[in-house]
Amino acid sequence: MAAFKVFGLKNCDTCRKAVKWLKERGVEPVLIDVRSDGMDAAVLQAAIDAYGWDVVLNRRGTTWRALPAEVKAPLDEARAMELICEHPALMKRPVIAAGDAVTTGFDETVKARLEAIVVGQ
C-alpha cells in the first residue's frame, strides 16, 4: 500500500477533513505540517507539473495579501515555487502524495481520484 502524505497545516480545516476522509477509508495518512516541517520540493514540483503553478499558488489567503507587491511580481513557475518554499501557507492545501500520484485541494474531483487510488491498492 502506498503511503499517503498530506502536506498542509495542522490547523487547516481542509487538511483535517482530508486526513479524516482518508482514515474513514482505511488509510493512515501522515500529516506533514509545512510550516514546521517544510515542503518536499519534489512533491511540490509534481503538484505544479500536474495542476500548474497558478493553481498550486494560493493567492486568496492572508499570507498572499500580506506580501508586498514587489515580492509578488513578476510571477512565473520558478517564482511561485520559491514563494511557496519561503511561505508554505501560500500552497493550495492540502497537497496529497500517494506513490506517483499527487493531488492539490480537496474537492469532489480530488476525492474521486484518491478513492480510485485507495481501491486500487
Task: Select which of 6, 9, 12, 57 is catalytic.
Answer: 12
CA dihedral 87, 28, 20, 80 (to 10 degrees): 20
Check if 15 is active-site: no
Q: Is 85 exposed, middle or buried (0-12, 13-18, 19+ CB in 10 A)?
A: middle
Cα distance between residue 94 and residue 56, in whole Å: 10
Q: Is 110 exposed, middle or buried (0-12, 13-18, 19+ CB in 10 A)?
A: middle
Q: What would the grid cell of residue 48 be?
A: 505544479
Catalytic residues: 12
